[in-house]
Every structure is written in C-alpha cells, then in structure tokens.
Structure 1
C-alpha cells in the first residue's frame, strides 16, 4: 500500500513541479461591459446556495452589480442592486441586521452618503437605507465589531474632512451617529490607532506610542493588515502607487521595520495576502494600475519570487480572493477599471494540478471534501475498521480506529493541504483536501 501511495504522490508532485508557474489559469471573462468605471469589488454568499458570489460598484455608472455563481465556473449578472448611487468608492458585504444573510454597504463619493441594502436571503435587495449623509468625499468602507454589543459596525473614510468615522450598529440595521476614529488632514503618513475597548470599556481610538509607521507617501492607495511573514502576528501592508508596495513588521520594542516587495512592474495599486499555493505559507498578489492595457497582476511566493498571473487588464485597482469553484484553493476575481471588465482567474492547485476527481473511490465515498474539521466514510461496515492518513510526502500523520460508518474522523488538527485516507480493511484510498 505504501508503494501505491508513494507512486500517486510522485505523480502529484511531478505534476505540481511542471505547472507551478501556471498556478492560475488565463483570464476568464465574467462581463466585458460592466457599469462605467468599476472601482470596488467584494465576494461572499448573497443567495441561499453554497457558492461564492461577486459584487462590484462603479464610479460613473452609478451601479452596484452582483453576479450569481452557479458552482460550475459560470457567473450571471442579476438585477441591479442600484443604478443611481454615483461615485461608489466603498463597498462591503456583511450581515448588518442579524438575520443570517449577507447585506451590502456602500459609500458614494459624489453624493457624500453611506448606505446599505438589505438582503432577503435569496439575493433580492431592498432600496438603499441611509446610515449617514454629509460625508464629503466618502471613500473606503470597512466592517467589523468595534464596540461591545456583538453586532457588525461600519467604518468609512471621509476625504474632504480628513476623517475616519465609525457607526455603531444596534443589531437590526439601524446605526448611531458618527464617531470619530481619527482626523488625518492629508498628512501622507501611515499611522496606527488602537481601540481602547478592552482596557477602558469604551470604544475610543488612541494613536499608538509607536504609531508612526511611514511618512511622505505621495500617492497612498491602500493600507491593510495581514500576516506576511507567517509568524502568526499581523503586519501592516502599504501600497503607494508612485513608489512601491511595502510591509511593516512590528518588532519586540514596538517599532516597525519596513520591507519592500521587489517587483518588475510600476504603479502598484492593491495587494492581498493569502496562502495561494497551499504550502502553509502566506503569499502576496499585487495588482498594478499604470494606465495601460498591459497592467500586471502578479504573485509573490512567500513575499518573494515574482510570478506574472496576467497582463491584459487596464488599471487593477481592486480584486477579491475566494474559492469560487469550490475545489479547496483560492481563486481571484478582478475589475479592469478602464476596460469596464470583470474577470476571474482559476487557481489550478487542486482542480487541475492535483485533480480532485482523478482518484475514484472504490465502493465508498467520503464527505465533506474539502473539509475543515471532519470526514465521514459513507458505506456499510460489518465491523469496526482501521484507517490511516498520509501527507503528500508519504508520511503517516494519523491512525484512526472507527467504530461504525457514521462516526466522524476528526481532521481539524491537520495542517491545510492534500492528504490520502487509507482504509486498511478495504485496502481503499481516498484523496481529500484539508482547508
């Protein structure tokens, strides 16, 4: 059995080596005629199926468009959520009214308002519900739990007043007046402000003692948090269009050390950190916006080793990352701003390179696959059975004694990756993906 497993593993690994540079597919078009000047994109579950959908907002078209994922690598544009909200520069997906479905929140730069659209659970959205008006040059929107009432609050940047504001959600989709996080007044600095809720019981924000991260940023496009160096601690990622993308590691003394991403391309616009190649180490994908039709979308393996994904789009100011085809790896969907295009790129790590359907189980099947926590072997057993799990290096990582066919095999402790489950009595093997 170990010889058979090793043979399979060898095939998988050789295939992986051949296609590593082709981790992502070529561009797959979703819509070549979105509303004018798409500026923001998000992904999440918007109807009552298990497939991840896409929503975009446009600057001059005034549209919020959502695209239903049918689970077979096809997206269809649904009824417009709105066609009258011009200058949409902020967009987020979250359950704002605690009814177990995702709603949409958006900010309008031109009309200066922050609004949300209620979802009925089937992808049908209400007309706009106003959170606040008078937010001159409303831009980036973020959602999360800020105060202590266990509901999703909303944050928005107000460009003209130089402020970051947050609004407390009472749980049913109504919000407090604005609360000030910080007034920045075009300092061109990256600064860290900490929520004092845990220490004072009040959600107020104070500038960190070592809060000055970066200064003199002439064209700051994006700032975010992620674990770039895989030390289980959040780093700060900065994207400055006229210079470069950088990340900042917090040292033991509280100071921050700058590290630059070495790229072959100009005008970085946006960056997202995730484990794209499923090797348990985070990578970075950067979208560029050079004002040409050959702007790059590039991946940096473990923050190094640049690999071009695509160079056929014009101004990639935003993209979203999710498992759109349900095969256990992270795909990318992007907006090409000046082409009015919405595209996606399939991650081939599992679907092509390792092929989840290549190995057909004998007499039995396992579910769910991919999985995060457990497996169930479907089929009748006349007696308790033994099972083993092997990683892709042919190393046995787990032995299990299973009493009956409905007992769950707990796999939550395994690292993310591809494994083989071997049933010793049946001499049957199954490939599964641990998320």
Structure 2
C-alpha cells in the first residue's frame, strides 16, 4: 500500500497521535512539510494530513508530549532555516500551526537532534548538533513549563571540528548523570560532554579517536554486550563501515568490531538505530543508506567478553 506524503522525506516518528490506541506516523519532509498518517489498524492508514512547516528543510523530528497535556507534540529541526520548530498536538490527530522557537546563528546546518531528561526533572530537554564554524556546534535546550524551551540555549563547542554530524545521550561514565556524545565527521573523532545532572555539561569535551575509519556521521547508544554499561555504534560514510565501541564504565571505549557496509551494497550510510529486531535480548542495528536507497540490518552477536555483528542484510 502506497501513501502520498510531502516531497523528500527525511525522518519518521511513530506514536498514538489521535489517542485511539492505534499507532500513527509522522514524517518530516525536506520540502517543508510535516506529513501525518493516521493509523487504521493492521498496518493500514486512514488518511494523510500535511502541515506546512515554518521554514523548509525539515531534517529531524521528535514526537513527545512537551506541554504535559497528554497529547503528542512534534519538535522539528530545519537544516535550511537552521531553526527549531514546534507543532503542538490537539490530541485528535491534528496539530496547531508550526512556529519557530529559536534560530541557531548562521552559518550552520542542523544535522541531528535528540531528547532526554538532562537535569532530572519531569520536563523533556533537547540537544541539537550542527556544522558550525563558530563555537556553537551543540545547542542544549532545557524544557520549561507550558511546553516551552529555555531560550537562548546553552552552547558547547566541538572545536576544532566544524562538521559535527550526530549526537546521542547516555551515562557513559556511570556517575548517574546523562552525558552527550557527538560524532565529528571531519576529524574522525567523538566528543564526550560529561553532564552534572543539572542540565549543565563540561565545556571542554573528552575526545575519542576512531582509528582509520573515515567520516563518522551517525551514532547510537545501547548495551550491546549486556554488561549494563552504555556502548556505542558509529557509521562511517567515507570508509563505508559500522564500528561498535564497548564502554569501559569510566567514559572510555574499546573498539571491538568493524563491519563493512558495502556487503549490503551500501554507498552512503547515513542513520543508525538500535533495537532488538530478532527478540534474542540483544540490541541490533539498522542502517539507512542514502546513496543506495536501502535499509541494512546488522544482528548483534554479543556476550560480556566478546562482541561481533553479522555482515548485514539489505532491503
């Protein structure tokens, strides 16, 4: 079954938007449209509703109840406009008009956005990563009452990198506080900003070098080997590979497995997601390939002392 949505879809979120107990789908489209597919059940959808964004170039969306009214809202990042937008949900499958919350100073290009509870309250916080020639690669927006975000955000720099591409959040040093991990495409490094539990992160990041792999452009976190310590998986666009890094518990990592993505006809690995796809209790990895128009699946074969990934299956 095919459904017509906005042009150039870039990101997808799933949730019960109309509160009928059936999952719906939200799609960000680079042409400046948010497409909402209302679920009918059985994998089918009743209809598609398109909402114009406040600017073109939507690259990432997060579906969450940010105003505490039990209805799902959509927080969107626009690469072209270098801004953050909010579509407040009405709870019946419809949304209010988008409005721009904040515009990150140019020149910048937003690549990724995550949400989490960075300061241990009940309000959802957001972190945005962008390529930026100033010292504003990472912008942290703490949640505020009424569905608002703290403006302006607090900026953190990944300098000398000017091409940070992806971000994830995890307590990598196991001190009970959320940390931020950023992938730097141009330097082949990761920047780790340790959090203090109050929504503040260290201004000077710890650096993790990634060896000979080139062009890290997506990063996800999960406990791949079952030792209750956050691990990382990183995709590399230039060297066309996926690397797994096992956490040591103090904020450092050990590279354990590098799998070439060209085994699944991959030419431009772009986005990683971690989930237990085969129900064996271990998180697996899915990879979206921009160049080959494919999705790759890597099944994790992990124990506490050994870690590996299958060579991949493509669809």
Q: TM-score, normalised by structure 2?
A: 0.78
Secondary structure of the corresponding residue to residue 159 of structure 1: strand
What's the offset of the Cα at 1:105? Answer: 0.4
Q: Structure 1's 307 and 90: CA in aligned 2 closer, same or farther, altered over 3 A?
A: closer
Larger Rg computed on CA atoms = 1
Gaps of 5+ in 2: 163-183, 302-307
Gaps of 5+ in 1: 1-28, 311-435
CA distance in 2, matches of 1:175, 1:270: 26
The residue aligned with 2:269 is 268
What's the offset of the Cα at 1:170? Answer: 1.6
Secondary structure of the corresponding residue to residue 47 of structure 1: coil
What's the offset of the Cα at 1:213? Answer: 4.8
What's the offset of the Cα at 1:102? Answer: 1.0
The residue aligned with 2:110 is 138
Secondary structure of the corresponding residue to residue 205 of structure 1: coil
The structure with more helix, counted as a fraction of residues: 1
The residue aligned with 1:98 is 68
Deviations 1:356-408 (A, max 9, x none): xxxxxxxxxxxxxxxxxxxxxxxxxxxxxxxxxxxxxxxxxxxxxxxxxxxxx
CA distance in 2, matches of 1:37, 1:79: 16
1:153-168 paired onto structure 2 within 5 Å: 153-160=125-132, 161=134, 162-168=136-142
Deviations 1:170-192 (A, max 9, x none): 22112221333521242532121
CA distance in 1, matches of 2:221, 2:192: 11
Secondary structure of the corresponding residue to residue 310 of structure 2: strand
Deviations 1:105-151 (A, max 9, x none): 00111122211011011111001133212443233121121224420
CA distance in 1, matches of 2:205, 2:110: 28
CA distance in 2, matches of 1:122, 1:107: 23
1:155-304 paired onto structure 2 within 5 Å: 155-160=127-132, 161=134, 162-185=136-159, 186=162, 188=187, 189-197=189-197, 202-206=198-202, 211-214=207-210, 218-243=214-239, 244-251=241-248, 254-263=251-260, 264-265=263-264, 266=266, 267-289=268-290, 291-292=291-292, 295-302=294-301, 303-304=308-309
Q: Structure 1's 108 and 296: CA in aligned 2 closer, same or farther, altered over 3 A?
A: closer
Deviations 1:263-289 (A, max 9, x none): 413332222222211122222222323
Q: Structure 1's 225 and 253: CA in aligned 2 closer, same or farther, altered over 3 A?
A: closer
Q: TM-score, normalised by structure 1?
A: 0.58
What's the offset of the Cα at 1:231? Answer: 2.1
What's the offset of the Cα at 1:246? Answer: 0.9
Deviations 1:228-260 (A, max 9, x none): 222222111211112211121122565311133
User: Matched residue pairs, number?
Assistant: 274
Q: Structure 1's 253 and 196: CA in aligned 2 closer, same or farther, altered over 3 A?
A: closer
Contact 2:287 2:297 in 1 (8 A): yes
CA distance in 1, matches of 2:148, 2:96: 15
CA distance in 2, matches of 1:277, 1:176: 40
What's the offset of the Cα at 1:57? Answer: 1.0
* Larger RCO of the pair (alpha carbons < 8 Å, separation 6+): 1
1:48-59 paired onto structure 2 within 5 Å: 48-59=19-30
CA distance in 1, matches of 2:269, 2:111: 19
Contact 2:37 2:49 in 1 (8 A): no
CA distance in 1, matches of 2:80, 2:249: 43
The residue aligned with 1:87 is 57
Contact 1:51 1:69 in 2 (8 A): yes
Question: Are 1:305 and 2:306 counterparts?
Answer: no
Contact 1:192 1:213 in 2 (8 A): no
Secondary structure of the corresponding residue to residue 172 of structure 1: helix
CA distance in 1, matches of 2:119, 2:251: 25
Q: Structure 1's 51 and 163: CA in aligned 2 closer, same or farther, altered over 3 A?
A: same
